[in-house]
Structure 1
Amino acid sequence: MMARPLRPSSSLSRRRMLALTGAGALGASLAACGDNTGRGTSASDDAGAASGGGGRPTIAQWYHQYGEAGTQEAVERYAADYPDADVTVSWKPGDYDQSTAASLLTDAGPDVFEYGNGPTIDMIKGGQVADLTDLFGDTLDDFTPSLIERMSYDGMIWAVPQVLDMQVLVYRPSLLEQAGIEPPQQIPDLVAAARELSRGDVKGLFLGNDGGAGLLGGPMLWSAGLDYLDEDQVGFEAAGAAEALTVLRTLWTDESLLLGEAQDWFDATAFTSGRAAMQWTGLWTFPAISEALGDDFGAIPWPAMEGGAPSVPVGAYGSCVSTRAQDVEAAREFVRWLWIDQTDKQLDFATSYGFHVPSRASLVPEADVLTSGPAADAAAYVTEYGHAQTPLLWTPRCATAWNDMMSRVVRDGADAQAELEALVPIVEDELERVTA
């Protein structure tokens, strides 16, 4: 998520800020999608094209452009190691989500591709992606449950999670101790702590330059025991939703939020420089935080309100198979080999080129960087408090309308209850469309 979604800097580009959303409108030129596909000639051309002309299948695999050094070389190395097909890797800069979604409507797209939080509901309903359920076998329970649920529809699993990212609340123990404050476990405690820690040039909390409007809507709903959707119904109509969202407006008007930073929430500079005592950020910032602050930082989930629970958003790119693949079964077998069988490569991809969590629980203890301190705490939160960033049926139209609403509530002071009520018919219309 994790999309989406989800960077202006190399430290963020890997998982795209966990804002791993579905594809946008398919307005891009489809002709451009046929360039550099990684495939040879089409299946309708010379005999043997689908098998690379030598009796072996050929598989075109697409990735978005990661920022961490060594990532591209790693996935190319994995592909070269595959014994049963010739796999070509295409590294796709630019608007990966849109170009990939457009390419699936043509015969020039990938056989295997990654997509933020798995394929969109429109890809699934449109028959553009293959069912991968049977690939998991007896490993299914080893994968992060919230991600499997996010990549499932109609009793089938449509992607295999690669590695996951998460967002957490980091804090400076030394600053909290000086103020006589415990790490906040409840939302009222967080609001009070942010006020108390705002002293002089230091603000109590940094939630991003928009005051958390673009990030914290989901965690605020989860803190109240709610969600965007309740299966295929609106989930934010219940009592407590407006009160939860209004918390972010309270933080904004209290002037306890740090705003106007050169770098946004995805970078830890505001926190490591001492301008904020607490910050909402991603796991990928932990190496920079540790280098700057040593052991003077901790990590906790987003706190709970009465009736709810703490939470952390999680997201992952999922490996998918196009139904237009030249050999769908060969493509499925490659996905099984790489993202289910090759645990050494999965661990390498998660921890050698950045700071991420393996999508399989059994691999987390093998990740040395996740065995102690705040990183170990954060990894444990994935299972205990993890939520997929948004549900599968939460379409880009829903997300845009929600984000616009959140900005009006948090930054402009609009009435949260009225804004939520106005959003209901938009979401219901989308739910009717995608479930028809």
Structure 2
Amino acid sequence: MVAGAERTRRSFLTLAGLLASGSLAACGSNTGRADGTNGDGTLRHWYHAYGEDGVQDAVKRYAEAYPAARVEVQWNPGDYDSKIVTALQNSPVPDVFEAQVKVEWVRQQQVVPLDDLLGAERGDFVQTLLTSQTVDGALYGVPQAIDTQMLFYRKSMLAAAGLQPPRTVDELVDATARLNTGGVRGLFVGNDGGVSTLTGPLLWSAGLDFLSVDGRAVGFNDPRAATVFGKLRALNTGGGLLLGAPTDWSDPGAFCDGLVAMQWTGLWNLPKIREAVGEDFGVLPFPALDGTGRVSVPVGAYSAMVNAKSADVDAAKAYVRWLWVERTEYQAEFATGFGVHLPARTSLDGAAAVLSSGPGAEAVRFVADSGRILSPPAWTAQAGTALSDAVARIAREGADPAAETRKALDVADSEITRLYG
């Protein structure tokens, strides 16, 4: 084994150990087989619309290779999460879909347990990912890959401004303003001013969270929440934040095209950024508010789930096991072949040589040391909307941080009571 591959192996084993402790009209993939489900020999599999070139073709190819049934892949651009919520309430389609499990789906018996699919391979999955897809002791999603976000910065631009990479939230606010020179803005965190991307990292920077560790209480009933949300207002009024970019935060275009000195975006964009700017960039976790806060990177993982209303739940489960447990070559390609994601299984570490050194290796360390689950099962859509709306009013309209945070707390408290009594 080459040295780089060995480093990659060690990095992923470390990542797994540390984490353990702590969508277009339907695009058919038709094999012509008639021994499936839904009466017409077809399993319907839904994905959201990945931004990387090649992913859609790959998942259609996986579906075509399934020997036991015909599988039709549907690619869903736009508001995929809302579409899934509606489908689970009213339809046997999709049979299989990717999402992050929610307690309310389990309470309403809209999804089925999948513990029996993992078998001896269970220990190979990053354990925190399994925990994030577990409700009341049962697993409802098989993780596909790990996504994370971080702060990319241009080394040359910071050096020209006499700045070090920001290590606190106040330093980030200051750097954003000071880097706003010569037609280049300091920072891009999304066209909504960071509301959708930074609400979680801001809470974590203050040592808080959406929910308590057990998921049964709100995790931001603390004055520091209002304080840190006020920092997003400072970013939005400091003059250095890019708004109205041609593409949103999940695309690296603003950074690659030199419109900004810093951008918050996904690790999946690492190849595009390196192609555009060479080695003139670095990566950082979101900084801490102060000495009692924490640096962080969000960790998200869409998982394969099965609709309880499927016409053939057993057939859908068998397909999920085949694709996301047995076919490790597809899993490795899905995670690392179309952008940079972290595999959900430690045995697939060798597939990600790009993560063995430089910013890629730093990203692995950030996730291992400071990764935080972005969407806990008990964090409901209603609670998320209330908090997002509150942060938007603070950041974009100058509303009172304490009053707005209290409104969101009240909604989140009500949601916890609704779920757990």
TM-score by length of 1: 0.80
Task: Report how many residues are paired.
Answer: 392
Which residue number corresponds to residue 163 of structure 2?
181
Give the CA deviation at 1:381: 2.1
- CA–CA distance in structure 2, aligned partners of residues 276 and 424 of structure 1: 34
- Return the match for 2:108 from 123, 126, 129: 126
Q: Does residue 1:245 correspond to 2:229, yes or no?
A: yes
Name the SS of the counterpart of 2:354 in structure 1.
Answer: helix
**Cα offset, 1:66, TM superposition:** 4.0
User: What letter is aligned with 1:91?
Assistant: Q
Deviations 1:216-238 (A, max 9, x none): 11101101110011121111112
The answer to whether the 8 A contact 1:34-1:108 is kept is no
Match of 1:223 in 2: 205
Structure 1 residues 126 and 200, CA, compared in 2 at 3 Å: closer, same or farther? same
Change (3 A) 1:65 1:87: farther
Please provide the CA RMSD for this pair: 3.1
Further displaced range: 245-254 or 64-73 = 64-73
Residue in 2 aligned with 1:394?
Answer: 379
CA–CA distance in structure 2, aligned partners of residues 311 and 434 of structure 1: 28
Aligned counterpart for 1:91 among listed residues 70, 74, 87: 74
Q: Is the 8 A contact 1:62 1:91 kept in 2?
A: yes
Partner of 1:208: 190
Which of 356, 368, 383 in structure 1 is aligned with 2:341? Answer: 356
Unaligned runs of 5+ in 2: 1-24
**Corresponding residue of 1:262:** 246
Shift in alpha-carbon separation, 1:39–1:238, aligned structure 2, 3 A: farther
Q: Identify the residue that residue 7 of structure 1 maps to in structure 2.
A: none
For 1:259 and 1:216, the matched residues in 2 are separated by: 15
1:101 shift after superposition: 3.5
Alpha carbons 2:43, 2:316 under 8 Å: kept: yes
Match of 1:159 in 2: 141
Shift of residue 415, structure 1, vs aligned partner: 1.7
Which runs of structure 2 are paired with 1:234-383 in the superposition (5 Å)? 234-305=218-289, 306-383=291-368
8 Å contact from structure 1 (residues 34, 109) kept in 2:
no
Which residue of 2 is the match for residue 148 of structure 1? 130
Question: CA 1:201/1:262 → structure 2, altered by over 3 Å: closer, same or farther?
Answer: same
Task: Provide the rounded CA distance (Å) in 2 between the counterparts of 1:130 and 1:38.
Answer: 26
Is 2:179 the partner of 1:197?
Answer: yes
Aligned residue among 214, 223, 233 for 2:217? 233
Aligned pair partner of 1:414 in 369, 388, 399: 399
C-alpha distance in 2, partners of 1:312/1:35? 34
Identity rate, percent: 43
Cα distance change on mapping 1:317 and 1:81 into 2, 3 Å: same
Does the aligned pair in 1 maintain the 2:390–2:407 contact within 8 Å? Answer: no
CA shift digits 1:136-174 (9 cap, x unpaired): 344444434443232111111110111232211000112
- Counterpart Cα distance in 2 of 1:142 and 1:92: 29
Structure with greater helix share of residues: 2
| Matches of 2:344 and 2:281, distance apart in 1 | 25
Structure 1 residues 402 and 88, CA, compared in 2 at 3 Å: closer, same or farther? same
**Structure 2 Cα separation of the partners of residues 208 and 51 of structure 1:** 41
Q: Please name the residue that 1:71 is paired with.
A: 55
Deviation at 1:291, TM superposition (A): 1.6
Q: Aligned AA for 1:287?
A: P
3-state secondary structure, aligned to 1:380: helix
More off after superposition, 133-142 vs 312-321: 133-142
User: In 2, are the aligned partners of 1:34 and 1:103 still within 8 Å (CA)?
Assistant: no
Q: Which moved more, 1:290-299 or 1:247-256?
A: 247-256
Q: Is the 8 A contact 2:27 2:75 kept in 1?
A: no
Cα deviation, residue 409, structure 1: 0.9
Structure 1 residues without counterparts, runs of 5 or longer: 1-32, 43-47
Amino acid at match of 1:86: A
- The Cα offsets for residues 215-273 of structure 1, whole Å up to 9 and x where unpaired, read as 21110110111001112111111241111111111222322322332333223232233
* TM-score, structure 2 as length reference: 0.83
Q: Secondary structure at the match of 1:277?
A: strand
Alignment partners' CA distance in 1, 2:28 and 2:91: 13
Distance in 2, Cα, partners of 1:417 & 1:379? 35
How big is each residue's C-alpha offset from its partner over 1:267-296, in whole Å with a ceiling of 9 and x where there is no partner?
323223333211111223222221221000
